[in-house]
Structure 1
Amino acid sequence: MKVSGMLWTGLMALSLAGCATRGPAVDSPVLRDPEALAAAQASQATRAAWLASQADWSFSGRVAVSANGKGGSGRIDWEQADARYEVALSAPVTRQSWRLAGDLQTGAGRLEGLEGGTREGGNAADLLRQATGWDIPVASMVHWARGLADPTAGVEGLEYDTQGRLRALSQHGWRVDYLDWFPAEGARPVLPRRVEARRDGAAVKLAVDQWQMAPQ
């Protein structure tokens, strides 16, 4: 299915507006010491447990998406309410916007803002791929964006940096690199600031400006 003319017009504007997602990759050393690695793994398990207790959360920032040399970038706002999510993408130059709503339990999705009207499907990632050409594992991104492995799939690789933070993980054939982190704040653990996910000719780059967790 071809991408709509309106969508590609918006994406070209997004490409000009989203340059802030670009930047040098951080080549932090991989943690090798067995004792320090065990401590990092324990710290990650504690992080995962705390984040699992936060059913509702959101972040805002910038995203860049590319597939086979084509793509764009712009603002992103992600709102998670337990298993349900809404992801809004906006193009500041054209003031166009698109919204993807989905459910982790059913896998279904609804995409609004496309030329020709709203589209729905039983698989949010497939719906997004068919409508836009973007290869984004949406259900896994719910976890990857927070610096967690997707619990529904096997982990093909994990790396930690010398500060004990997750440096990279591999799942579904994707490599997800964590290039920068927000420091811990109160009970909240460190959270990703810059994330890059790549597989074959596809890439998703995320630069988070702000995280929000629902008050307990």
Structure 2
Amino acid sequence: MTVRALLVAAVVMGLAACSATAPRPTLPPERIASAETEQLAREQALRKQSTWSLQGRIAVANQGKGGSGRIDWQQDGPRYQVALSAPVTRQSWRLSGDDASARLDGIEGGPREGRDAAQLLRETTGWEIPVVALAEWVRGVRAQALGPARVAYGEDGRLARIEQGGWAIDYVWNAAMPAGSALPARLTARRGEAQVRLIIDQWGDGVPE
């Protein structure tokens, strides 16, 4: 079974909670400076915590095609291992690598390797997933490798959006968690017809205290 077929088969599991949310009120201009100071402090602290993991749900779409499933992401510095499974079909695949190489296991025809994870996924599945940048965006941090970014904050002072490298990443936070220490509860990354949605059920090592 191909990677695309695997995930399309899992669409029936649904990600209704990932649906787009209504636009949130933006932060008044006089509060932006303090929000940016807090965000920079978060980013500095999180970059020091380079080992982390998450478990959750993912939905991917590109040019009218897509699918969904469970995701288990483990990050150790630049090295990552991302496993995705479709409970209905009991099929799974695993993407592993670092900044300079990537390997995709569990696909028809055997493992495939490449220098760039995003390119490997694009060639294999047709999907556009910025793996290296997403490893930072998923924690609500600007991707260092992509240069300047535009950010916006919600009325509560939390990060609401990052625009970087042609992508727009919108965030939803757990309101019960303190703004300075929270990690995102869900996010949606979009560029053109490409879209990646994540719901995080559990964060592992590296979560700020």
Alignment TM-score > 0.5, same fold: yes
What secondary structure, in the 3-state scheme, does the structure 1 residue paired with 2:121 have? helix
Distance 1:182 1:135, change over 3 A: farther
Q: Judge conservation of contact 2:18–2:186 (CA < 8 Å) in 1.
A: no
Post-superposition CA distance 1:95-123 (Å, at most 9, x none): 0001000202x2x1000000000000011
Q: Which amino acid aligns with 2:181?
A: P
1:134 correspondence with 2:127: yes
Structure 1 residue runs of 5 or longer lacking an equivalent are none
Q: Judge conservation of contact 2:160–2:171 (CA < 8 Å) in 1.
A: yes
Q: Judge conservation of contact 1:180–1:194 (CA < 8 Å) in 2.
A: yes
- Counterpart for residue 103 of structure 1: 98
Across the aligned residues of Structure 1 and Structure 2, the Cα RMSD in angstroms comes to: 2.0
Aligned pair partner of 1:123 in 100, 116, 131 = 116
Structure 2 residue runs of 5 or longer lacking an equivalent are none
Deviation at 1:26, TM superposition (A): 4.1
Post-superposition CA distance 1:59-109 (Å, at most 9, x none): 0000000000000001001000111000000000000001000202x2x10
1:73 correspondence with 2:65: no
Q: Which amino acid aligns with 1:72?
A: G
Q: Judge conservation of contact 2:18–2:198 (CA < 8 Å) in 1.
A: no
- Counterpart for residue 197 of structure 1: 189
Q: Judge conservation of contact 1:183–1:189 (CA < 8 Å) in 2.
A: no
TM-score computed with the length of structure 1 as normaliser: 0.90
Distance 1:46 1:214, change over 3 A: closer
- Counterpart for residue 198 of structure 2: 206
Q: Which amino acid aligns with 2:75?
A: Q
TM-score computed with the length of structure 2 as normaliser: 0.92
Deviation at 1:20, TM superposition (A): 4.1
Matched length = 208
